[in-house]
């Protein structure tokens, strides 16, 4: 089983790259250490390395580097290792690792609609390739990956919250037998870099994709704030200190293009494809919050 999981992971990486390169994307090398990274309000602890007289944050997502990179190439992606020091209580959610790899992509001048279509097509391509290459093994495991029709259904955050309350993610995921989008998050539910819809103040032009069958979040993304004054306003509204984001603000003052993109976790995708109990089964050397590692 361990070998099959590694082979499927490898095939997912290959299929994703193949799909994206055919769409004109350029693969960037990941960033591990940086003076600034994703604030990630739900995971306050930061992994920090001290070197050369300054602190370097381990990447929690490549969001700001993606925004900078689309100045150079219009469509970029990276297989980006993220370190997120989740609280040890998350050890048993079956969905959290404190080190994982995110396929993170961004498109210059893109709108949310275009990125959602890209996400659906990327996901379906990967499912198709895994079905084609590992059909027999999936059958032996009793795992069925149907041909999910496009477009995937959508609900607004407001609708989801109204029906299921704050923990709507797993409830919605359980209820659906195809992937389902959640769109239009309220401003205080997300990071400052998701773009606020100025025609609908307080609502963001963003989205999450949830897997069916209770597997939870697949991908998360949106359009981005790119103007320095908007970024500053959003940082302050979030209760963060703009001084900590000086390098981002400087970049925005030099000029960042509008863009949109998403990130999709590879380990959670492999868990879903193979129908595994726990995301930690996807890694030879899983990094589970609060758990000591053998190697």
Q: How far is the CB of 73 from a second copy (least distance, A)?
A: 5
Among 85, 126, 235, 279, which residue sits at the site for a second copy (rule: CB under 8 A)?
Answer: 85
What is d(CA 186, CA 99) in angstroms, rounded to the nearest whole number? 28
Q: Cα Rg for the chain, rounded, in angstroms?
A: 19
Q: How far is the CB of 81 from a second copy (least distance, A)?
A: 5
Scanning the structure block, which residue is given the tokens 């995937």?
Answer: 152
Among 19, 39, 98, 184, which residue sits at the site for a second copy (rule: CB under 8 A)?
Answer: 98
Site for a second copy in 51-70 (CB under 8 A): 51-52, 54, 56, 58, 64-65, 68-69
**Is residue 79 a contact point for a second copy (CB under 8 A)?**
yes
Site for a second copy in 1-60 (CB under 8 A): 2-3, 6-7, 9-10, 13-14, 17, 21, 26-36, 45, 47-49, 51-52, 54, 56, 58
Part in contact with a second copy (CB under 8 A); list of ranges 129-137, 156-164, 212-220, 280-288? 280-288
At 23, list the tokens: 């769409």
The dihedral formed by the CA atoms of 11, 16, 18 and 22, expressed in degrees to the nearest 10 = 160
Cα 294–Cα 7–Cα 88 angle in degrees, nearest 5: 35
The dihedral formed by the CA atoms of 272, 278, 284 and 289, expressed in degrees to the nearest 10 = 120
Among 105, 127, 210, 251, which residue sits at the site for a second copy (rule: CB under 8 A)?
Answer: 251
CA of 36: how far to CAs of 31, 42, 59, 159, 232, in Å? 11, 17, 8, 34, 15
Q: Which is nearer to a second copy, 114 or 254 (CB)?
A: 254
Scanning the structure block, which residue is given the tokens 């580097």?
Answer: 65
**Is residue 256 a contact point for a second copy (CB under 8 A)?**
no
What is d(CA 267, CA 77) in angstroms, rounded to the nearest whole number? 17
CA of 46: how far to CAs of 62, 111, 127, 221, 288, in Å? 15, 31, 34, 22, 16
Q: Which is nearer to a second copy, 2 or 199 (CB)?
A: 2
Among 144, 166, 243, 292, which residue sits at the site for a second copy (rule: CB under 8 A)?
Answer: 292
**Is residue 151 a contact point for a second copy (CB under 8 A)?**
no
What is d(CA 11, CA 6) in angstroms, rounded to the nearest whole number? 9
Which residues lie near a second copy (CB under 8 A)? 2-3, 6-7, 9-10, 13-14, 17, 21, 26-36, 45, 47-49, 51-52, 54, 56, 58, 64-65, 68-69, 72-73, 76, 79, 81, 83, 85, 88, 98-99, 101, 247-248, 250-251, 266-267, 283-285, 287, 289-295
């Amino acid at each position: 089983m361990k070998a099959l999981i590694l082979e499927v992971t490898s095939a997912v990486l290959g299929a994703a790259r193949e799909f994206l390169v055919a769409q004109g994307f350029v693969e960037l090398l990941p960033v591990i250490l940086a003076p600034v990274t994703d604030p990630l309000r739900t995971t306050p602890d930061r992994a920090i390395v001290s070197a050369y007289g300054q602190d370097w944050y381990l990447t929690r997502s490549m969001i700001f580097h993606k925004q900078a990179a689309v100045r150079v190439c219009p469509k970029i992606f990276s297989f980006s290792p993220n370190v997120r020091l989740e609280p040890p209580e998350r050890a048993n959610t079956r969905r959290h690792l404190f080190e994982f790899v995110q396929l993170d992509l961004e498109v210059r001048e893109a709108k949310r609609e275009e990125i959602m279509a890209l996400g659906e097509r990327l996901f379906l391509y990967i499912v198709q390739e895994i079905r084609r290459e590992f059909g027999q093994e999936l059958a032996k495991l009793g795992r069925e990956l149907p041909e999910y029709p496009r477009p995937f259904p959508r609900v607004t955050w407001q609708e989801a919250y109204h029906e299921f309350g704050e923990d709507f993610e797993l409830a919605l995921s359980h209820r659906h037998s195809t992937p389902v989008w959640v769109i239009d998050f309220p401003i205080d539910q997300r990071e400052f870099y998701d773009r606020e819809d100025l025609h609908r103040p307080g609502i963001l032009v963003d989205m999450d994709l949830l897997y069916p069958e209770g597997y939870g979040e697949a991908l998360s993304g949106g359009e981005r704030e790119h103007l320095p004054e908007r970024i500053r306003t959003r940082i302050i509204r979030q209760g963060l200190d703009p001084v900590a984001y000086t390098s981002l603000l400087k970049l925005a003052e030099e000029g960042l293009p509008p863009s949109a993109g998403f990130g999709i976790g590879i380990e959670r995708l492999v868990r879903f494809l193979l129908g595994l109990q726990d995301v930690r089964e996807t890694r030879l050397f899983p990094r589970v919050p609060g758990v000591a590692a053998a190697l």
